[in-house]
Amino acid sequence: MTTLADPEVADEADEVSPTITLPAMPACVSAVREHVRVALRVWDLDSLSDIAVLLASELATNAVRHAGLGRPFSVVVRRDRAPDGAACVWIEVHDTDARTPRVIEAADDDTTGRGLILVESLSDGWESVPEPGGKCVRFRLAMTA
């Protein structure tokens, strides 16, 4: 598997936002939305903002719900390449829960359980990667001309 840190994928056009680390508290999800919005604005990628903010919010909410209240999670926004070499933006949420997330089919009256369905439907790909002490869940959005 190609990871974002592989030197053969990285090039001089790749950029990484500052990493923000927050306690897993519901109120912190709004900081994630703002972080993603600002990173995309700085890179002149406002056209990706609405979808990126929505999906980052879903992943951050999962980190809050499943990694444990108050435990740290972090968010990074990257301009990078997709596995096929196309320019894209990756949004990563790193948390301390080692369990692999899975898409579930929520019942009509369920109030939760649709976040990864949104990520799967609206992104150009997503994955969960184990890390020491947890995992990284990330999705990518193509940078269209």
pLDDT digits (tens, 9 = 90+) for 46-83: 999 999 999 999 999 999 988 777 789 999 999 988 88
The structural domain count of the chain equals 1
Q: Is residue 14 part of a domain?
A: no
At residue 68, the pLDDT reads 79
Domain housing 68 = 20-101+114-142
What's the pTM?
A: 0.82
Q: Is residue 41 part of a domain?
A: yes
Nearest to residue 19, comparing CAs of 93, 123, 80, 79?
93
Residue 101 CB neighbours (<10 A):
19
Give me the half-sphere count of Cα atoms (radius 13 Å) on the Cβ side of residue 56: 33
Distance of alpha carbon 127 from alpha carbon 41, whole angstroms: 25
Distance of alpha carbon 133 from alpha carbon 24, whole angstroms: 15
Give the rounded percent of residues in the chain with a pLDDT score beyond 70: 82
At residue 106, the pLDDT reads 58
Q: Where are the alpha helices (DSSP H) in 2-48?
A: 29-42
Q: Is the pLDDT of residue 128 over 90?
A: yes
Element (DSSP H or E) covering residue 140: strand 134-142
Element (DSSP H or E) covering residue 110: none
Q: Is residue 3 part of a domain?
A: no
At residue 4, the pLDDT reads 37
The CATH number for 28's domain is 3.30.565.10
